[in-house]
Chain A
Amino acid sequence: MPPSTACTSQSIGVYRGLADLETFILHGRAARLGASAGPPLVRDADELAAFAEKYRIPPFKAATFAPGSNVRGYIGLDGGSTSSKAVLIDENGDILCKQYMLSKGNPIADTKELLTLLKNDIAQQGCTLDVLGFGATGYAADVLEESLAADANIVETVAHGMASTRFFDKVDVICDIGGQDIKVLFVTHGQISSFRLSNQCSAGNGMLLQAMAAQFGVSVKDYADVAFGAKLSPKFSYGCAVFLDTDRVTFQKEGFSREELLAGLALVLPKNVWQYVAQVPRMAALGRTFVLQGGTQYNLAAVKAQHDYILERVPDAVIHVHPHPGEAGALGAALEARRVVLQRGKSTFIGLDAAIDLSFTSRNDADTVCHFCPNHCKRTFIDTKAASGRTSRYISGFSCENGTVESKEKLKELAQRRKQLKAKYPNLVDYESKLAFQSFYKPAPLPEAGAPLTREETRRNWLGTAKKVSVTRRMQRSSAEDHAFRQTIRIGIPRVLNLYSTAPLWRVFFETLGIPSANIVFSDATTPEMWSEGGKYGSIDPCFPSKVTQAHIHHLLHHKSREKQLNYLFFPCITHLPTFVSGVMDSTSCPIVAGAPKVIRAAFTKEVDFFARAGVEYVDAAVTLTEPNYLVKQLFEAWGEKLRVTHDECEFAVNQGFEALKRFDAEMQRKGSEVLAQLEDENRPGLLLLGRPYHNDPGLNHGVLDEFQALGYPVLSIRSIPKEPEWLERFFADDLRRGMVDSPLSTSDVWPENYSANSVQKVWAAKLAARHPNLVVLDLSSFKCGHDAPTYGLIDHILSATATPAMNLHDIDANKPGGSILIRVKTYAHTLKLHEEKLKQAAANRSELEQRVAEKRRELLALQREQLAREADIQLMNEAYQAYLEADITVELPDRDFTFDAMGDTQPHSARETALALVNGHRFVIEEQTDLQQIQGGQQITLNPNLLASLNLLEIGLKKTQQTSCSSCTPHSCPTCAH
């Protein structure tokens, strides 16, 4: 009721009829919502009809055959988690028939059913089917490869790419929206050059639309018809499905109708695809030919929304909807099987009937549990038996490689293989994660009591003006009793967050003060079990690396301290971190990471004081690692009384801690140099992890690095990259020369707001990867990471400019999205394979070029000699040559530096600047050397007569003649003789 309506006692409670309500629904609602609402999906019926005419997918008509004929073809099968699809293609790659079914839970049973349906399609026409090859993709591909001896096991992304390029020329972008995921593939020259995949979030996929439609009692098949009926739409913000749903609640409350909400959801879909998943703000840069695939394209409302979104940003875009949007994966698998079989000349497939008749058992019981590590994974064994007697076993459900074997002997073999793999393709991230917490540096002993300590101190007068003075004092030591006391102290430290980069400092600090190495106890690396057991104290929901700290504290209190009582639990609030990047604004930690110890204190003392209960004192002092002198003060305040140490002892221990950090860096860089040298020698790519220190934790990186190591790619950490300017200048020479940066370790040219230590190191590492041909990138970020978010665009710009291969996992969280990771790894592996081929090809081409140029040079020199020999004055030259051979030639040089440039053939030099000599086909250039007359009185070099035996001095001789013939010049000014 409008507020102005007068309410009298007579009017209260009197029914006024529906007229006002109807008026509001018909006019008022739209008028009120209109101001904030967006446009409808279509303006009018004509627009809808034209659009539907162009983009509605025509019904598929299966091929027909003459009865009695033998149909020959290849089968491709896409075993998805919600549905499975199969296609039969002929020998030319054209689709003959296809089948779709909702998955029933067992991939082999689903496959048998699909194959039977395909067989029946042919049999119903009175024909027989001869399967020439079989390819699989999707989550079922591995088990099908094993049990059916599939010819091809291809990752979904590549399968979709092949299916798309089969139908359309010059595809630039493929956007596949399936029931569970979104894939956006960027294509260059018919190959997937880059890709983006949705993570575990369902925002924007087909399932979301289906679920939303179901809430309004609308079947997904009727979605488009309902949504096209809307005259306006609410403006959803893109984002995760949970936020979309809360948005939906708000809009519903505001009065939007069912039609409008469904239209709004369809309209937000492209935002989720392009802004949330693909993160592409400038679509026009991707190209102009877009192919839409995936089952969601059957929903014309979704297609219309995509179509309008793309055209608004790429006005000349050509947008295609794949004619078989739901079966594109299966089609790609069939095409790949065809390619493999034709190339190999035979198929490995067990045969259609054998596959249909395949018997199998699936076991998941006490006998299948893996006992090779404490995880005790509940594995599933799928055993198959073909009519021919062929058997196979497929194992799933394990969390590590140990789960792939069944006996101790096999486990030993596996360990042996793993060891070889580790040595051949080192994973320096893993090494760093272990080394950080080991006792690898023996600290220097504390100076004796009374030993002189000399240092420069700051003295200030009452005005505050500083003066530096040299001060010598006597070392103050604590008593022997205090030392003995410290030997009994046990300190627990969680293996989390920035402890991954600073642990050596803390370990050595305590060891220097006399705490035995064995009494410095770190929690274990994160495991799902640890999180499950200890992740129960939190009241907030920050990023997983921060949340998981509670599980580590729990682990220390309930496991480590119970094994042997801990006295203290040390979890410092590290506000600032040292960084190797130069010229930064500041060098701060992330505020969540820095504050996590305080959140832990609140969580563990809120209702029950768990520290007191465990008899452990919690120390969470704030520390600043970029100010060593201030750090001494902070640590002395935190530990001085507790450990009964003097200020001098504390200071000495801090210095030793920093020394340990230096050794840590040096060791990692040493290993990194070795790996990089090997990569360069062998023209292979190595994976550089762009991550924060805690991403070294295998529980946080979900073992994704091991997957790449297993594929034969060494893994490097940012810390392992050599930081010596001399080494780096190879890659940053141009930047330095052009004044873009003042140091190879600077990021000022790409990111002025560079105060976050770990973020700026990631950005610097991206810069290096963009300049190093053998480095490819894996960029890890945890969900909700606020310090990484600003770097996404920067890193993307930096790497894209040089087409450096990169894979992003920007939303890693507590759960391991195994399927999502696997598909990314496989797709990226495909990209890396192409990159490696490119590296090797480029190396081979460079080698060929050198060879061809050298040959050419020899050829030209031979020709030159031949020509000279024909000339009349050759005799004179021969005499000159003989004279040189016989003389001990001494050349005097001016008193300044000169350089020899063995690659002189790449840089032309003017005659004025150079004197030239040819030795064994190489041209040596003495820069800034004008003529032989000018070098009197300077330094001398003696040329080896043996060298001169092959020296072509003709050029020098000619030049000398020419220069001496000019009589009118003044030094450095004559254009005639270049004097």
Chain B
Amino acid sequence: MHTAQLPNLRSLTHADIEKELREFEAKERARLGLDSKPVEHWRDTNPQDFVKADRSSTTLLCGGLTRAQDMLIGAALRGVGYRVQPLEVPDNDALRIGKEFGNRGQCNPTYFTVGNLVKHLIHLRDEQGMSTEQIIRSHVFVTAGACGPCRFGTYATEYRKALRDAGFDGFRVLLFQQKGGLKQATGENNGLEFNPKFFFALIKAVMAGDVLNAIGYRIRPYEIEPGSTNRVLEDCKRTLAEALQHRRNIPLALWRCRRLLKSIPVNRLQAKPKVSIIGEFWAMTTEGDGNYKLQQFLESEGAEVDVQVVTAWLLYMLWQGMWDTKQRMTLPQDDEANGGLDGKNPRRKLLTLWSADKAMRGLFGFYARLIGLRHYKLPDMDEIATISHQHYDVALRGGEGHMEVGKLIQSVTHKKAHMVISVKPFGCMPSSGVSDGVQSLITTKYPAAIFSAIETTGDGAANVKSRIQMDLFKAKQVAQVEFEAAKATSRGNAEKHNHALVYPHTHGFAGTAARLVAQP
């Protein structure tokens, strides 16, 4: 047994004994492999520190909508005092990077958007020579967040994971909640203030982008000179971006755009199938590899594309809040969790949401009229809910919820399109996993519908395009028959109205050409 060498001058004190024991125990622990280093458990640091003083030296990265909207949002946020860099539209390289650093089994919007951010940072590091520390210090990424239930709400988790694993640990991802209202996370010293000024700038940019996109998709298929629409649209984007960035008169900018658009020579008397693109929000919105450049492909195949505007998504968010409140406000007792009204004032909430809905519709209508987007009707959320509820309970949330079902029914009953494509990422939970199952019943009930549900994986474009071509062939035939029928009722006014900003809205016809010839 080990014997301590103790001083002879005095007897052992208790402190001596304790000290000796501690040393002995430490040695024994080491010998026995019981060295108990403090265990450091893993944590997600989720850095959020972005203060006002850093605003001038920090670039906000953003993106994820259409090209026009990404550009206009960038300009609008610059207009309210931020340095902003919109990311490119995600491509297949972004997908590959997203897959490398993301979790397995994610949907591809996750991979595309997460990969797009990492790709940009890698570009800054490897091509522009910035150090990782410099990138982390001088950039933040801003995006929308959600509380589920689909995995869109976990994108922030994925961003952080991919950034960590790609070597950008500590990079800041800042979220604003899409249902969080106009005032979130504001504070005296916040670098990024999610306040009304911020959100109004966003909304103006989104709506300006919406009306520009919608009118672009209406004109381009009928342009006489190929490429003329895109050239004008680029001019319009620049005009609007300058107005947003320098906080000039947006209505005036829209009016200028109208004049530019009006000058595009078109021939709308071509029977083209109108194809409505619905589905998962990102897959139907992006204009890149994320949906195999679906809009562009359809136009190249001779279709007119009817896209969903981002404003409709915002209206859906508002509708959810109103519906949830109405369902609960008559309960004798309020619940605390989730949508419960405990501690809330339902009347005030309803009034706020109703006002927001009206304001958005009003602003959209105003912008649409200014730019020349005629007869464009934002969806009636109550109507969509009513027609879809029996098939897809409106209490079920995630993605577009019941909206896909409602839109398909409307496209047939209101003759809004000849064909509907529901595009979604492979394994999209609400869309592939629920909507498509219900849509099989809808297409049985409405046999006139030409409906094509496609899942995008990032691969297999050839197969997807072949399927679309097959359905599009049917839609072309329907459009031609409809056009011939419309010609029989023509009053001969078609040529008079055959220019860029005239978009007839004649009941009973889906095709633009048919509407034009049949209009009174």
Contacts and interface: CB of A to CB of B under 8 A. Distances in A.
Contacts of A540: 432-433, 436-437, 440
Contact of B161 (A250, A756, A767, A793): A793
A801 interface: yes
Interface string A585-627: 1111111101110110111011100000000000011101011
A898 interface: no
B100 A271 contact: yes
A755 interface: yes
Contacts of A918: 14
Contacts of B14: 916, 918, 954-955
B340 A627 contact: yes
A466 B345 contact: yes
Interface residues of B, number: 102
B148 interface: yes
B300 interface: no
Given A463-B347, A599-B434, A789-B151, A863 B340 contact: no
Contact of B148 (A238, A750, A756, A797): A756
Contacts, number: 346
Contacts of A846: 34
B11 A849 contact: no
A542 B41 contact: no
Contact of A602 (B332, B340, B441, B463): B441
Contacts of A244: 459
B96 A237 contact: yes
Interface string A843-862: 00110110011011101110
Nearest to B107: A786
Contacts of B148: 585-586, 588, 755-756
Interface string A738-768: 0010000000011111011000000000010
B331 A275 contact: no
Nearest to B331: A629
A868 interface: yes
Nearest to A861: B17
A626 B391 contact: no
Contacts of A751: 44, 157
A235 interface: yes
A588 B18 contact: no
A106 B307 CA distance: 60
A239 interface: yes
B106 A247 contact: no
B46 A856 contact: no
B441 A849 contact: no
A477 interface: no
A628 B393 contact: no
Contact of A856 (B2, B99, B332): B2
B103 A793 contact: yes
Interface stretch (A451-459, A690-698, A935-943): A451-459
B44 A905 contact: no
B340 A630 contact: yes
Contact of A598 (B25, B161, B392): B392
B273 to A, nearest CB: 23
Contacts of A794: 44, 157, 161
A476 to B, nearest CB: 13
A16 interface: no
Contact of B41 (A237, A243, A802, A845): A802
B333 A598 contact: no
Interface stretch (B361-369, B395-403, B511-519): B395-403
B4 A860 contact: yes
Contact of A842 (B34, B327, B432, B441): B34
A609 B232 CA distance: 54
B156 interface: yes
A799 B236 CA distance: 53
A784 B149 contact: no
A237 B95 contact: yes
B153 interface: yes
A699 B496 CA distance: 68
B154 interface: yes
A790 B157 contact: yes
Nearest to A854: B21
B6 A594 contact: no
Nearest to B145: A753
Contacts of B157: 751-753, 790, 793-794
Contacts of B346: 460, 464
A627 B337 CA distance: 6
Nearest to A750: B44
A859 B4 CA distance: 9
A9 interface: no
Contact of B396 (A457, A594, A784): A594
Interface in B1-24: 1-4, 6, 10-14, 17-18, 20-22, 24
B126 interface: no
B166 interface: yes
B21 A542 contact: no
Nearest to B158: A790
B248 to A, nearest CB: 38
Interface string A869-907: 011000000000000000000000000000000000100
Nearest to B453: A540
Given A237-B95, A790-B106, A598 B396 contact: yes
Contact of B22 (A633, A750, A797, A908): A908
Contacts of B338: 576, 586-587, 624, 626-627
A771 B462 contact: no
A320 B105 CA distance: 31
B147 interface: yes
A542 B106 CA distance: 14
B339 interface: yes
Contacts of B33: 841-842, 845
A312 B29 CA distance: 41
A645 interface: no
Most buried by A among B148, B430, B444: B148
Contacts of B440: 539-540, 602-603, 606
A92 interface: no
Contacts of A630: 327-328, 331, 335, 339-340
B438 interface: yes
A590 B14 CA distance: 62
B484 to A, nearest CB: 29
Interface string B308-341: 0000000000000000000111011111011111
Contact of A276 (B104, B145, B161, B327): B104
B169 to A, nearest CB: 10
B43 interface: yes
A606 B95 CA distance: 37
A855 B106 contact: no
A539 B18 CA distance: 74
B11 A792 contact: no
Contacts of A781: 105
Contacts of B239: none
A546 interface: yes
B165 A735 contact: no
B345 A849 contact: no
Interface string B446-464: 0000000000011111110
18 contacts: A253-B462, A279-B104, A458-B341, A460-B346, A539-B437, A586-B147, A586-B338, A598-B396, A601-B391, A606-B444, A622-B396, A626-B337, A749-B44, A788-B105, A793-B165, A849-B25, A867-B11, A916-B14
Given A458-B334, A542-B427, 10 more contacts: A458-B331, A463-B348, A464-B345, A588-B148, A756-B149, A797-B42, A852-B28, A856-B20, A863-B12, A867-B12
Interface of B: 1-4, 6, 10-14, 17-18, 20-22, 24-25, 28-29, 32-34, 39-44, 46, 92-93, 95-96, 99-101, 103-107, 145, 147-151, 153-154, 156-158, 161-162, 165-166, 327-329, 331-335, 337-341, 343, 345-348, 391-393, 395-399, 427-430, 432-434, 436-438, 440-441, 444, 457-463
Q: Which 6 A-B pairs have the closest CB atoms?
A: A464-B347, A246-B460, A595-B434, A599-B437, A591-B398, A281-B165
